[in-house]
Structure 1
Amino acid sequence: MPNLILVHWPERQSLDDFREIARLIRARAPEIGVMIAKGKERELGIVLRAALRPTMVVSMMPRKRFRVLHGRVYEGHDLPKSEQYRRYRAAGIPVPDWEVIVPDTSLDPSHWGDYVIVKPDLARKAAGIVIKRTRRVRYQPPESFEADHPGRHSPMLAQKFVYTGRWANHFRVTTLFGRTLFAVHCEADRSFRPLESRDAFKGANGVGGAPVVSNKKSSRYTLADDPEVIALGERAHAAFPEIPLLGHDIVRDADTGELFVLESNTRGDVWLLSSGTGRSLQRTNGFDLYAQFGALEIAAEALIDKVRAEFGTSA
């Protein structure tokens, strides 16, 4: 009888969610012993109980103090975008061309287009992302960036710009071990100047005039059920087999219809079902992420399947 330990973060996930998932697992897979631990505590009682049987730990986000004596651990952690892109390519996942900006970088517009995205290799919430003329992309020493710019602490990347339409938009597909819990579509506030084509940045005053980043507070979110987008998000999870919970940002080229994965939130801070950010997003936009696909039911099934595959058990 294997153990499954779910590591809980009260600031990011409702304990009621985890209790309901545990209840569903116990009802459907009584051979699995489910426990819920606090990520910031040592939880010695749980550790000692877990030591008696094969154990799998699932922590959606990085743990602080909780550790087990033995067992398989699946845990969210930050990964640089460059590492994500290499993994996507190895897994056959479509990702826009990219390269690290180094002192001798010189990008050819005939390949990259007239404009490219420049972004930090390691940053959150779209920090440091700008659009630049391809011919003007140059290496910038870390110390030349502002003190709070992510470029002071990680390399900068150039990536092909994917034109998603007059207003920047993208999909976020959130998966648990490759199963979609929920999916949303995000579009930039239409009070901004529209971008009429992929090369129409001239006179737009950069990102401020025609946004290329769509996940702003003023953006409009709707539930997404595009089968191709969801399938791509589930495929993308295979590039990160050690990470349980992922949020994949996917775009569709408005001219060609091609889909690309821009990046994945590998830290696992994407439990929008009950986080403060997620509750606000659902309330503001008038939808229910729990009900979209049956998120907690899917989470329970995904965890049951993972434990059974890990330890060779069955119903």
Structure 2
Amino acid sequence: MHYVRSLVLLFVLSLCPTIAIAKDWLVAKTTTQVSYTIDKTTWDAVAVGTVIPSKAWISTGPRGRVTLTRGEESLSLSPNTLGSVVTHEGLFSRKTEVVQQTGEIALDIEKRSSPHTYVHTPFLAAVVKGTTFTVTVTPQDASVSVESGLVQVSSFTGGESADVGPGQQATVDQNQTMSVAGVDATPSVTSVEPTRANVPAVNQAAPLGADLGLSAFGDQSAQSEDVGTNGVAGESSGGENSFNESGFSQGNEGQGLGNAGGNSSDRADNAGNSGNGKGNGNGPGNGNGNGPGNGKGHGQGHGKGHGHGHGNGHDHDDDD
């Protein structure tokens, strides 16, 4: 009997390294302007082969793209995306939560008999057993488009839910109104119990439903307290990153002299960063950096504030 117990113990211990590795996602493909943080302070650039631990936040810049893999599963983050992956690992089970505050993520999730992957956005939640689908989040709404399989999409305070299949889409706006569409047929919308979101929308201090005393969606433990209220900022000459009271901001540490008091934004309607005594990181949206020379707009305009953009721009003081 003692011999049998020893064998069982050795077998369980032999699984531990595998279990630990199974939590993490591996960078399979990446461009520049992709970084991650595990402490909300220090950001590290990713490279092919980088291991992204559970609960790490990943940020992509205006030209950043990255694909993460874990076994048969994959997550592909498009430009201007901010998200995190949290893994709850048991001895014989695993649940994955994708927290997506803004941007677009394409997911290819392995099929299992019961729901095991949850996607939390500011406006809707998605539950899957296994499928291929894309989640897009803007400051105004979130949508789920399904390529294969079935995804259960639910609003929060709106109390609406739909099972979205191949060729179908569900969108929930900031007023918590759900709209559905489909190539051949549209999904049916049903009523469900209102819930609270786990992640706040960009520029919002708290998730939807937090002031109503509602429980979080599915009682899942997504790390919403780790999410800021700001979008992903553009690239700066300094390339540093920070997590402050305004939320996540990538590339807000410049080399400038004056005040960086304008907005740095990846989307025209997405607020960026501000800070004192530093330059701006300017994304495709308009951003102003006030230094001895002012660089403005989509530009590669360089003032002494060294604010960088990504299109054509100019300096007003003829400083280069």
Query: TM class by shorter-chain length?
Result: under 0.3
- Report the TM-score when normalising by structure 1: 0.25
- Relative contact order (C-alpha < 8 Å, sep 6+): which is higher? 1
Q: TM-score, normalised by structure 2?
A: 0.25
Q: Which has the higher helix share?
A: 1
